[in-house]
């Protein structure tokens, strides 16, 4: 199979899906209308609730949900073969992920921009709101803690990315200033992207490193990043996050275009196996395909974090209700296209040449060398290496120097990890404020102050990262993340399903994806619990049991609200 042909077929399929299934869901289930007033207009506060143009909000939402997920997930999941990874990414995004993102955005927009956690109390029962919010807060806590460490580690791994990533801040502030003055956002965004790529070239030849703190430069960067996200998530969203994410969306589109041009020019044959025999050998250390593939590849197929973004920050910036289809369903489809390009960069691009210890591996040998065992593909560096090398090979096919190509991909990776970091901080702050609302709907002091609440969120994550050297304290909870993230997706689809039932709508479009995701997630959580018992991981075992009990409570409450509650 040729990588270019498969990519073109996938893109064509996505376009058809958006214009058929996506529009069918929008019309059949929700009857979208711009006559419905959006929370950004009703509750406009100039900080979180800010009406925003559709294409700008698309960029903000897309970069928020993308992050490292659609890169790292496929880069690991391909170890079982490119075919199961491709099928899950393609079908999962169309019938599960895009539906999940879009529907949670719509019901939040029709309920004053409340997060999916707060909506649980309105749709099911007030008590279940706290169960959902606990799971939601726990997931965001892990995301914030771990991604701060990951971005710090990426800065150490790719020092050439430091200058362009930090240059995004003044460029974004300038862009936001010009757009808010009513200037042509397209013209100024193009100028901003040109400036960004000029900074990438500068960064290539001016790598930046910083002295270690507590024995590690990763810790140094982590401390700086926590200071940054505190301010980035408290200032008005349209002053930094919106324009910075808008720039990043352009950067991503450029990077995707460069990769796609590489597929056109090189059109490498897929040398990775469709089904990897090594993954099913008796003596392999590679775990079984089921259910791990569906937990490993989340972003690109379906991810619970997306519902937090849809109902956390994006909904508060919606200008018109009909924008939800393009932003919610469309962003997920575009993210899945990115996941396909990642698969093709590894399945085809990696085979163009992988140098290791002075030996150049090509074709199937390159894949087998990198994915010969689970341990050889573990660790952040190894997970990203296959994608970075494969993408750089594609870019080099039409004359982009290898050093520049790797810098472009490195900046692209770090930038999107960074967007997840500060967006998660803002979402967690908003969710925490919802938890501490009084019966009259007002946030209890001191949580009504965004500076205080954000400080609590950031401080908790910082203390977690510092419990181990090199800011690796957050990794204590990382084994829970994959299952927890997919559990959030299943629960969010469950809330949407109950909402549709109460409105007299056909629930199959969300019920079936919910059952499928819940099945593989609970399966994975049970395997985790068994593993935690075997390895005497007491903390992880206790937390897993608590999450399972809360999930059971939410399921029972949902069933009760549908079949018993009047």
pLDDT digits (tens, 9 = 90+) for 154-166: 899 889 889 988 9
Residue 561 has pLDDT above 60, yes or no: yes
What is the rounded average pLDDT of the residues 269-298? 89
The pLDDT of residue 266: 93
Residue appearing with tokens 């296959």: 386
Asked whether 528 and 544 are in contact (CB, 8 A), the reply is: yes
Nearest Cα to Cα of residue 488 among 424, 542, 444: 424
The pLDDT of residue 181: 75
Residue 21 has pLDDT above 70, yes or no: yes
Residue 169 has pLDDT above 90, yes or no: no
What is the rounded average pLDDT of the residues 60-74? 87
Is residue 55 classed as helix, strand or coil in its secondary structure?
helix
Cα–Cα distances in angstroms (integers) from residue 389 to residues 90, 354, 393, 395, in the given order:
24, 7, 6, 10
Residue 566 has pLDDT above 60, yes or no: no
Is residue 269 classed as helix, strand or coil in its secondary structure?
strand
E-strand stretches of 275-409: 354-356, 359-361
What is the rounded average pLDDT of the residues 444-461? 91
Mean pLDDT of the chain: 90
Domains of the chain: 3-280+287-563 (1.20.1740.10)
What is the rounded average pLDDT of the residues 60-75? 88
What is the rounded average pLDDT of the residues 321-333? 96
Q: What are the tens digits of pLDDT across the range 112-138?
A: 999 998 899 889 888 888 888 888 899
Tokens of 273: 């196996």
Residue 219 has pLDDT above 90, yes or no: yes
Longest dimension (CA), the chain: 71
Residue 420 has pLDDT above 90, yes or no: no
The pLDDT of residue 68: 81
Contacts of 78 (CB under 8 A, 6+ apart): 85, 272, 343, 346, 347, 371, 386
The pLDDT of residue 4: 94
The pLDDT of residue 488: 92
DSSP for 397-447, please give it: TTT--HHHHHHHHHHHHHHHHHHHHHHHHHHHHHHHHHHTB-TTSPBPTTT
What is the rounded average pLDDT of the residues 44-49? 89
pTM above 0.85, yes or no: yes
Residue 385 has pLDDT above 70, yes or no: yes
At residue 565 the predicted structure's pLDDT band, cuts being 50, 70 and 90, is: low
At residue 436 the predicted structure's pLDDT band, cuts being 50, 70 and 90, is: confident
Q: Any idea which of 163-172, 339-348, 514-523 has the lowest mean pLDDT?
A: 163-172
What is the rounded average pLDDT of the residues 397-414? 85
């Amino acid at each position: 199979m040729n990588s270019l042909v498969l990519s073109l077929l996938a893109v064509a399929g996505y376009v058809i899906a958006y214009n058929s299934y996506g529009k069918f869901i929008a019309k059949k289930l929700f009857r979208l209308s711009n006559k419905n007033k959006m929370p950004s207009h009703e509750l406009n506060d100039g900080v979180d609730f800010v009406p925003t143009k559709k294409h700008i909000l698309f960029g903000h939402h897309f970069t928020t949900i993308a992050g490292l997920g659609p890169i790292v997930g496929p880069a690991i999941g391909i170890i079982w073969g490119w075919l199961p990874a491709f099928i899950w990414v393609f079908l999962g995004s169309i019938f599960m992920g895009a539906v999940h993102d879009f529907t949670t955005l719509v019901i939040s927009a029709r309920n004053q921009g409340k997060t999916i956690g707060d909506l649980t109390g309105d749709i099911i029962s007030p008590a279940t709101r706290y169960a959902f919010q606990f799971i939601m807060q726990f997931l965001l806590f892990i995301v914030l803690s771990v991604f701060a460490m990951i971005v710090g580690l990426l800065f150490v791994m790719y020092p050439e990315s430091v200058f362009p990533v930090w240059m995004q801040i003044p460029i974004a502030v300038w862009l936001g200033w010009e757009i808010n003055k009513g200037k042509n956002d397209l013209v100024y965004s193009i100028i901003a992207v040109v400036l960004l790529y000029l900074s990438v070239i500068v960064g290539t030849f001016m790598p930046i490193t910083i002295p270690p703190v507590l024995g590690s430069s990763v810790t140094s960067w982590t401390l700086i990043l926590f200071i940054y996200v505190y301010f980035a998530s408290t200032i008005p969203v349209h002053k930094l996050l919106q324009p910075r994410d808008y720039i990043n969306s352009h950067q991503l589109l450029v990077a995707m275009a460069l990769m796609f041009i590489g597929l056109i020019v090189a059109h490498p044959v897929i040398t990775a196996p469709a089904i990897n025999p090594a993954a099913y050998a008796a003596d392999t250390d590679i775990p079984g395909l089921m259910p791990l593939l569906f937990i490993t590849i989340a972003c690109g197929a379906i991810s619970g974090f997306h519902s937090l973004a849809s109902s956390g920050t994006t909904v508060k910036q919606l200008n018109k209700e009909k924008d939800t289809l393009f932003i919610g369903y469309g962003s997920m489809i575009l993210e899945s296209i990115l996941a396909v390009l990642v698969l093709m960069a590894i399945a085809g691009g990696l085979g163009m040449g992988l140098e290791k210890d002075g030996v150049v591996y090509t074709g199937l040998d390159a894949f087998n060398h990198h994915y010969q065992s689970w341990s050889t593909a573990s660790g952040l560096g190894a997970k990203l290496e296959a994608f970075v090398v494969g993408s750089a090979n594609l870019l080099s096919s039409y004359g982009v120097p290898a050093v520049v190509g790797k810098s472009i991909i490195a900046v692209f990776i770090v930038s999107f990890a960074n967007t997840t970091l500060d967006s998660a901080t803002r979402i967690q702050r908003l969710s925490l404020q919802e938890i501490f609302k009084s019966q009259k709907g007002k946030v209890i002091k001191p949580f009504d102050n965004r500076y205080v609440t954000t400080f609590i969120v950031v401080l908790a994550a910082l203390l977690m990262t510092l419990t181990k050297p090199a800011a690796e304290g957050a990794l204590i909870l990382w084994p829970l993340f994959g299952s927890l993230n997919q559990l959030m997706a299943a629960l969010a689809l469950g809330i949407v399903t109950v909402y549709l039932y109460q409105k007299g709508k056909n629930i199959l479009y969300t019920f079936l994806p919910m059952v499928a995701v819940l099945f593989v997630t609970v399966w994975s959580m049970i395997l985790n619990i068994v593993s935690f018992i075997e390895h005497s991981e007491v903390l992880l075992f206790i937390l897993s049991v608590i999450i399972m009990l809360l999930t059971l409570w939410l399921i029972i409450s949902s069933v009760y609200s549908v079949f018993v509650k009047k």
